């Protein structure tokens, strides 16, 4: 009996296209993605991509959703209080998008019809309503957290300084004598800034939550 020869390259699949496109975005940015470039990277003809995606935008949407799918949502299901859950989710969310910062502009458009993005939004909103937040405020909390986390991934404060002491002449910048050291400590500084902001944000929400509970008890 004759056996069919195995294909020299793996068969084209949606997952393979998305993984390849994500690697391109990570390495070279959104502009690097085109159907021609993807076809070349995958070793297939351009038209074969259209069996899976109609446009480049659809491919980028799928890449964005693959990043959203990396965000842990278990904290909304395992009994953690709303504040702890929001904190842990924000940390996971930031970790996912800091690994893939070039896709943030697509993520920033909102979830649209992306399944993982919609599950993320649904989990946050549902958890806040279940914790006692009114739906309108639960929506605002979800939006606020999204702005904060995405904003933290768009750039690095510490990375914006150069590793050159002479760039910060004390006569011009009397308080930036150590600024040339920031770049080499970028990750630690950025993570600490994120945690500082996140705690401050959650402290403010906790105060609102207490006020809401008090108002409910007296009404």
Residues 88-141: tens digit of each pLDDT: 999 999 999 999 999 999 999 999 999 999 999 999 999 999 999 999 999 999
Share of the chain above pLDDT 90, in %: 74
Helices 186-218 and 135-153 pack at an angle, to 10 degrees, of: 170
Q: What is the per-residue pLDDT for 10?
A: 56
Quick one: pLDDT at residue 9?
Answer: 54
Domain range list for the chain:
71-218
The label of the residue with tokens 């300084």 reads 161
Instruction: Yes or no: say if 16 and 42 are a contact pair by the CB < 8 Å rule.
Output: yes
- Would you tell me which CATH number, out of the four given (3.40.50.300, 3.20.20.70, 1.10.357.10, 1.10.3720.10), belongs to the domain 71-218? 1.10.357.10
pLDDT at 217: 72
Distance CA 89, CA 120 (A): 10
What are 72's two structure tokens?
């842990």
What is the reported pTM? 0.86
Residues of the chain with pLDDT under 70: 1-10, 219
């Amino acid at each position: 009996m004759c056996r069919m020869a195995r294909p020299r390259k793996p068969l084209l699949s949606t997952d393979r296209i998305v993984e390849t496109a994500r690697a391109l975005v990570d390495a070279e940015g959104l502009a690097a993605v085109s159907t021609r470039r993807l076809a070349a990277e995958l070793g297939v003809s351009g038209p074969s991509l259209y069996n899976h995606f109609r446009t480049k935008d659809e491919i980028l949407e799928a890449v964005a959703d693959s990043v959203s799918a990396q965000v842990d949502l278990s904290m909304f299901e395992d009994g953690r209080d709303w504040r702890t859950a929001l904190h842990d989710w924000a940390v996971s969310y930031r970790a996912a998008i800091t690994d893939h910062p070039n896709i943030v502009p697509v993520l920033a458009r909102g979830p649209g019809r992306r399944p993982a993005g919609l599950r993320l939004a649904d989990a946050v909103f549902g958890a806040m309503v279940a914790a006692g937040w009114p739906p309108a405020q639960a929506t605002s909390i979800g939006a606020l957290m999204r702005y904060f986390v995405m904003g933290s991934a768009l750039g690095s404060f510490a990375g914006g300084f150069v590793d050159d002491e002479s760039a910060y002449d004390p006569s011009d910048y009397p308080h930036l004598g150590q600024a040339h050291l920031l770049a080499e400590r970028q990750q630690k500084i950025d993570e600490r800034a994120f945690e500082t902001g996140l705690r401050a944000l959650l402290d403010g929400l906790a105060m609102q939550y207490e006020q809401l509970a008090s108002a409910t008890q007296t009404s």
